[in-house]
Structure 1
């Protein structure tokens, strides 16, 4: 399936488009900073996830209404959004108590979940390179969560954090197999709206003190996670990725992982050992090895790097 330049005119050169994807990926990689800082403000993990998706849902909801005639696809997008929004709670919780580098590498296991879901649900049998790339990512995750990297009491949070790549993997499959009839912004909008709807019951059941920041700096953090790590990078990714194709998008998108490492290092003074850097290199190599299938544009409402590809 050819996917490049089908949703947007040829107004971006490859160099500028590549920079756009890198900038978007850096924005996505800043999520741990905002998530951990908001948790320190006393905000519940599900409220942080809600704020991340809410602004995009509010701004882009008119596009859902305009696409209402394609309601089956919109319903799939809403379901995918619910899964990703609820799953992202585990990632926020993990970032709160484990090193950012470790949580980031576990998050990057989403291609493995994508591959399995594609095979089991949609009959999309993986190729040899996809299997090899998946094994590399599993090896990186095992290296990052070795006994020397995490403690026993951190393991429950790490296991729970796998809900995020699981939800993301499901979301990618929905985007690839069910949402191609929607334009790119409608895809972002319905998935974001689904995430908000999935998190809304938890928001209603939570005391107000754990939902909203009590300081001005806290509200700046909310604005940062909503715009700087979600809406703006999502739109950048959506516009830029079709201009350069899946292979370069995947490689440029891998900048998210080293960004997470640097956030942990500079913002939280977390030491990054040789094992973490080796795991980072393995993940990026796996991404470069298998550029994979994609829809016409990036599913940028999904919180992460190579949003529109699926290992094949």
Structure 2
């Protein structure tokens, strides 16, 4: 598959591009820190999701104006954004009560959803290696989310958190098969705007006390979740990931999961259990053995097929 975007790639040395992907992936892994910090102050999960997407949606809106003739692709991007934004509510809700490491492992099941959705909607037949990797990820999710690892009363919350990887999987599938004809920034803009539009009705009908933080430090968290975990890493990822290839991007980007573990341990004092460590190792192993045709982040997906 070849991309049709004609943007000239910046002259960035490959080692620096690797560092860029590493930096962006670590930023993505910091989401639990900002998310839980806001929900602990009474901010509703859907509001947290809204704040993450509103910054790139507003700042990149002019990009959509420039690419307005590609309205079909933009509509696909908006639809993806709605699904992703609503799915992210489940992710934020789970982080309120469950360890960041456990939620992180469940979040990393998005490649499995990607495989299933792309196969069902776009007849994109997965490879044997993809099946093997999916099996390892499913096993990791079972270990991390089993009653032996998570109290039974929290199992429903854990299942709800799967809405996020489902949304990501749907987004990756659509972005690869329908949005490769528009520029990467237009993809980020359309998906972010779609997420905002999908969450806006919830924001308009909510009590103001559940939307606004109390102190100035909480406003820093809102700015951080929009810039540190969304806009800045998305832009860096968009520039750097095509320069090192999809396979290396997937391997380097896998630092996101250990980052979530580190956030849980250092920021929230969560002990890392043996089951969680095994689940993490299985996910990282699945990523290492798979040569994906798409890069990591849904809002910055660039279709790029590698010859193996």
TM-score by length of 2: 0.95
Number of aligned residue pairs: 306
Could you say which residue in structure 2 is the equivalent of 1:75?
Answer: 75
Deviation digits for residues 41-91 of structure 1 (CA, Å, limit 9, x no counterpart): 110000000000000000001001111101000000000000000000000
Contact 2:180–2:302, Cα closer than 8 Å, also in 1: no
Could you say which residue in structure 2 is the equivalent of 1:301?
Answer: 299
Distance in 2 (CA, whole Å) between partners of 1:126 and 1:264 is 34
Relative to 1, partners in 2 of residues 1:266 and 1:309: Cα closer, same or farther, differing over 3 Å?
Answer: farther
Distance in 1 (CA, whole Å) between partners of 2:88 and 2:14 is 32
Distance in 2 (CA, whole Å) between partners of 1:310 and 1:100 is 31
User: How far 1:119 moved relative to its partner?
Assistant: 0.6
Contact 1:184–1:299, Cα closer than 8 Å, also in 2: no
Deviation digits for residues 98-129 of structure 1 (CA, Å, limit 9, x no counterpart): 11100000000000000000010001111111
Could you say which residue in structure 2 is the equivalent of 1:287?
Answer: 287
Could you say which residue in structure 1 is the equivalent of 2:266?
Answer: 266
Could you say which residue in structure 2 is the equivalent of 1:169?
Answer: 169
Q: Which 10-residue stretch deviates more, 262-271 or 272-281?
A: 272-281
Gaps of 5+ in 2: none
User: How far 1:2 moved relative to its partner?
Assistant: 5.1
User: Do structure 1's residue 54 and structure 2's residue 54 form an aligned pair?
Assistant: yes
Matches within 5 A, 1:131-280: 131-280=131-280
Could you say which residue in structure 1 is the equivalent of 2:108?
Answer: 108
Relative to 1, partners in 2 of residues 1:33 and 1:106: Cα closer, same or farther, differing over 3 Å?
Answer: same
User: How far 1:299 moved relative to its partner?
Assistant: 5.3
Could you say which residue in structure 2 is the equivalent of 1:125?
Answer: 125
Deviation digits for residues 142-184 of structure 1 (CA, Å, limit 9, x no counterpart): 1111222100111111010000000000000111001011101
Contact 2:180–2:303, Cα closer than 8 Å, also in 1: no
Q: What's the RMSD between the two structures over aligned residues?
A: 1.9
SS in 2 for 1:68: coil
Could you say which residue in structure 2 is the equivalent of 1:22?
Answer: 22
User: How far 1:12 moved relative to its partner?
Assistant: 1.0
Relative to 1, partners in 2 of residues 1:283 and 1:311: Cα closer, same or farther, differing over 3 Å?
Answer: farther
Runs of 4+ in 1 over 6 A off after TM superposition: 309-312
Distance in 2 (CA, whole Å) between partners of 1:65 and 1:202 is 26
Q: Which 10-residue stretch deviates more, 146-155 or 100-109?
A: 146-155
User: How far 1:290 moved relative to its partner?
Assistant: 1.2
Matches within 5 A, 1:89-104: 89-104=89-104
Contact 1:291–1:311, Cα closer than 8 Å, also in 2: no
TM-score by length of 1: 0.94
SS in 2 for 1:242: helix
User: How far 1:255 moved relative to its partner?
Assistant: 0.6
User: How far 1:13 moved relative to its partner?
Assistant: 1.2
Distance in 1 (CA, whole Å) between partners of 2:208 and 2:303 is 38
Gaps of 5+ in 1: none
SS in 1 for 2:243: helix
Relative to 1, partners in 2 of residues 1:310 and 1:264: Cα closer, same or farther, differing over 3 Å?
Answer: farther
SS in 2 for 1:18: helix
